[in-house]
Chains A and B, each alone.
Chain A
Amino acid sequence: MADMKILPAGDRALVAEFSDVISEDVNRRVNALKRALLAENIAGVREMIPTYRSLLVEYDPAVIALPALTERVRAADPGDVPATAEQRRVLTIPCCYGGKYGEDLKDMAAITGLSEEEIIAIHSATEYRVYMLGFLPGFVYLGGLDERIAAPRLKTPRTSIPAGSVGIGGNQTGVYPMASPGGWRLIGATPVAFYDPAREKPALCEAGDYIRFVPVSPEEYERLRKEGGAV
Chain B
Amino acid sequence: MSLIVKNPGPLTTVQDAGRFGHQSEGIRPAGVMDTAAFAAANRLVGNAGDEAVLEMTFLGATLTFSADTWFALTGAAMPATLDGAPVERYTPVKAAAGQTLACGLAASGCRGYLAVRGGIDMPLVMGSRSTDRSARLGGFEGRALKAGDELPTRPDDGWTPTPLRCAPPVYTGAIEVRAIPGPQDDYFTAAGLETFFSTPYEVSTDSDRMGVRLEGAAVESVRGTDIVSDGIVFGSVQVPSGGKPIVLMADHQTTGGYAKIATVLSLDLPLLAQARPGDTVRFRRITAEEAQALYITR
Contact = CB atoms under 8 A, between A and B. Distances in A.
A and B co-occur in one complex = yes
Interface of A: 7-13, 15, 17, 20-22, 46-56, 58, 61-62, 65-67, 132-139, 141, 177-178, 195, 197, 201-203, 206-207
Interface string B3-31: 00000000000000000111111110000
Interface stretch (B81-89, B204-212, B274-282, B290-298): B290-298
A179 to B, nearest CB: 9
Name which of B22, B180, B235 has the most chain A CB atoms within 10 A of its CB.
Answer: B22
A206 B24 contact: yes
A9 B291 contact: no
**Residue among B26, B227, B260, B263 with most chain A CB within 10 A:** B26
Interface in B214-263: 227-233, 235-236, 253-256, 260, 263
Given A9-B263, A134-B254, A134-B255, A202 B22 contact: yes
A202 B132 CA distance: 15
Given A197-B126, A197-B137, A203-B25, A51 B231 contact: yes
Nearest to A55: B231
Contact of B228 (A13, A20, A135, A178): A20
B135 A8 contact: no
A21 to B, nearest CB: 7
A10 B180 contact: yes
A95 to B, nearest CB: 21
Given A21-B228, A206-B25, A134 B295 contact: no
B195 to A, nearest CB: 21
B26 A10 contact: no
Contacts of A203: 22, 25-27
B230 A52 contact: yes
B48 interface: no
Interface of B: 20-27, 125-126, 134-137, 180, 182-184, 227-233, 235-236, 253-256, 260, 263-266, 288-289, 291-292, 294-296
Given A8-B183, A15-B183, A137-B135, A49 B228 contact: no
B225 to A, nearest CB: 13
Contacts of A53: 228, 230
Nearest to A61: B292
Contacts of B266: 10-12
10 contacts: A10-B291, A11-B294, A11-B295, A15-B183, A47-B24, A54-B231, A56-B232, A62-B296, A135-B255, A207-B24
B230 A61 contact: no
Given A9-B260, A47-B20, A195-B25, 15 more contacts: A9-B263, A11-B266, A11-B292, A11-B294, A11-B295, A17-B230, A47-B24, A51-B231, A51-B255, A58-B233, A133-B254, A135-B26, A178-B136, A202-B126, A203-B25
A47 B23 contact: yes
A9 B24 contact: no
Contact of B25 (A54, A58, A202): A202
A161 to B, nearest CB: 15
A137 B27 contact: yes
Contacts of B230: 15, 17, 51-54, 56
